[in-house]
Each structure stands twice: as structure tokens, then as C-alpha cells.
Amino acid sequence: MPEGHSLHRLARGLHRTFAGDVVASSSPQGRFDSGAQILTGRVLEEAEAYGKHLFVSFEGGEVVHVHLGLYGTMQKAKSPAPEPRGAVRWRLESPTWYADLRGPTACDLVGPLGREAIVARLGPDPLRADAEPERAKARILGSRATVGTLLMDQAVLSGVGNIYRAELLYRHGVSPFLEGRLLRPAVLDAMWADLVLLMNDGVRRGRIVTLDPGDMDAMAELDADRPAADDPELDGGEDSPQIRRLRRSTGVYVYRRQGRACLRCGVPVAAQDVQGRRLYWCPGCQRLPGQRRPRPKRSTT
DNA sequence: GAGCTATGTAGAC
DNA sequence: TCTACCTAGCTCT
């Protein structure tokens, strides 16, 4: 599930597990053979994320750049590693752990200069302590592009994907079709601060939850007709009322909720393809200046 | 079990 | 603008 929070969680896990260890590296699928072979026998020094990009550094200055794309995964487990299952692009092994990378958009040996070049293309990452939010804010407030487009532009802001975009705009009552230059600076400040909190929460949970705690009950009621999802994160714990509510809820306000009533105003959530990606928003809560409020969805009860 | 969809980007044309 | 990547969760049968 690769928005920025997934990559930061992955990087932290890899760093905790492998940093300081001599590793074996291979490409069972064959597509990363030349790069993977060079790394065998070296110490893995660091794994870090920048936006949706993962960088794994090794002694001797080698750096592997990974981008998971839409459905790439990297999973680790205790050694010994079994026979590779599926198309494993890159396998890392230490004496105690192994990790398999499958289906990435990118997995290349890039070196420190390559890493710098990739990072130079990216806007500030809300999950990094060294982020410079003013850079992103200046780009947004000076642009005629819509905020819906700007938030997804990794050169403006890195790590935000389709879910955080939809949810952030909803939480701040901003239409995705508003031009960046028309956004109030105070609203943008609040959006950045919120994004930092939401994405850090995503790293902690391993899952995106944007519902305020006070909205959990109401959303669970709205979703009473939905089947309870299996959520491994919630398994094994006590089945408290809060856990039951979370298990039933999607944890979000608008993402993939098209046609369902908005929690706050009752207007059906809308969806539209914009630049090849599905955009979700509430036409009631997220109106452009001067736009009329649409009718709420009629209750069926 | 089959089929559909998706949290994304790079590269070919 | 289209396609590759070729996973994994969800829905339908």
C-alpha cells in the first residue's frame, strides 16, 4: 500500500533489521542480477525513505533505489529464506532475516549521485524532519493548477498519494478544483500541519486512518451495512468497542466512498477521473467560492 | 476460484 | 497517451 507512510514504515523496518549486517543479495527473477550480485558480502549501512522512494545504502557507496509503484511489495521474514515464490526482483538475506521485493516500478543501483538527483526532483516530505514546508507552500500559492493536482505532484510535495489527497482536502473543506493561488495561506498552513500528523499516524499504524476519534461512532453507524473487514493490525487484541468500530470502518471520510452520504452534510460523495487518477470529494463540504450547496442524500431509514 | 481494481511511475511511442 | 510492472485485497459466482 505504497503512499509515503508505507515507504517510511518499510525503511524503518529494513534499517532496524539489516543495518550493520553483512548481507547476501540476489535477484531470483533475474531482472536485477547485475546490481544484486555486487552487493553480496557488503554491510548494509542504511535504509531511508524520501517521499515514495526507498534508498538502501551499502558500504563502499553503493545505493539501491526502489520505487514500489502501484502494487510493489517488500516483505521480510525470519531466515532461512524459502524458495522464491512469484517474481522476486531482489532478495536480501542476513544470518537471521530475509526480505523479498516483488513488482516494483524501479529497483536500480544508483550511487550517491543518483540518489541526490532523485531527491532533487522531489518536493518536501511531511514525514522527514528535514522537510522545508515553505518550498511546497510557495509552489502551491503561486500556481494556477488545482490543489487536487498540486497535492499529487511529487515535485511539489512528496509522499502524498490519492488517499491522503482526498482526505486532506475533505478535512479542510477545500475543493480539489480550487486553484492553488486562490488557497488561503492560513488554510495551507493548517493542511501541512495536519498532513504531518496524519502521515506519522499512518506510519505508526501501517494503515491510513483520517477519521477523527469523535467521528468513529457516526461513521460506524453510516457503515452498518458494510461487512466487517479483516484487519490483521486489529487481530489478537481485545475486542473493545473502539476496535470493533475501527474494524467495521474504512477509516476515511471520502476515499472510495462515492455515492455514500457524507458524514458531515449528507450529500453523496462524488468521484471523477482527473489526469488518470480517481478523485473523491464531497460536493457539499468542498465547494468552490460561490458554488451552491447540493441536496443531501435522502435517508432510506 | 475468477475477475476486477488499485494507495504510481517510468519509458516507449 | 499508452503500456508495463505482474501484487493483493475485494466482490461476485
Instruction: Report the protein residue whose CA lies nearest the C1' of nucleotide C8.
Output: A71
Length of chain A: 301
- Residue A244 has a pLDDT of 47
pTM of the model: 0.91
Classified as helix, coil or strand, A26 is strand
**A297 within some domain:** no
Q: Which residues span the domain enclosing A22?
A: 4-120
How many domains does the structure of chain A reveal?
Answer: 2
- Residue A235 has a pLDDT of 38
Backbone angles phi, psi at A198, to 5 degrees: -60, -45
Contact between residue A91 and residue A99 where contact means Cβ atoms under 8 Å apart:
yes
- Residue A237 has a pLDDT of 40
- Between CA A212 and C1' C4 the distance (Å) reads 39
**A298 within some domain:** no
Strand C positions with any atom < 7 Å from protein CB? Answer: 4-11
**A201-234 as b/e: b if 16+ CB within 10 A:** ebbeeebbbbbeeeebeebbebbeeeeeeeeeeb
Pair A214, A192 in one domain: yes
Pair A168, A234 in one domain: yes
DSSP symbol at A72: -
Strand B positions with any atom < 7 Å from protein CB? Answer: 6-10
Classified as helix, coil or strand, A2 is coil
Pair A109, A206 in one domain: no
Instruction: Report the protein residue whose CA lies nearest the C1' of nucleotide B6.
Output: A70
Pair A140, A256 in one domain: yes
pLDDT tens by residue, chain A, 301 residues: 589 999 999 999 999 999 999 999 999 999 999 899 999 999 999 999 999 999 999 999 999 999 999 999 999 999 999 998 889 999 999 999 999 999 999 999 999 999 999 999 999 999 999 999 999 999 999 999 999 999 999 999 999 999 999 999 999 999 999 999 999 999 999 999 999 999 999 999 999 999 999 898 888 888 876 655 444 344 334 344 444 445 445 799 999 999 999 999 999 999 998 888 999 999 999 999 999 988 887 654 4
Pair A273, A137 in one domain: yes
Pair A60, A85 in one domain: yes
Domain with A42 in it: what CATH number? 3.20.190.10
**A301 within some domain:** no
Rg of chain A (C-alpha set): 21
Pair A277, A137 in one domain: yes
**A105 strand B contact, CB < 7 Å:** yes
Catalytic residues of A: 2-3, 52, 277
**A296 within some domain:** no
CA A10 to chain centre: 11
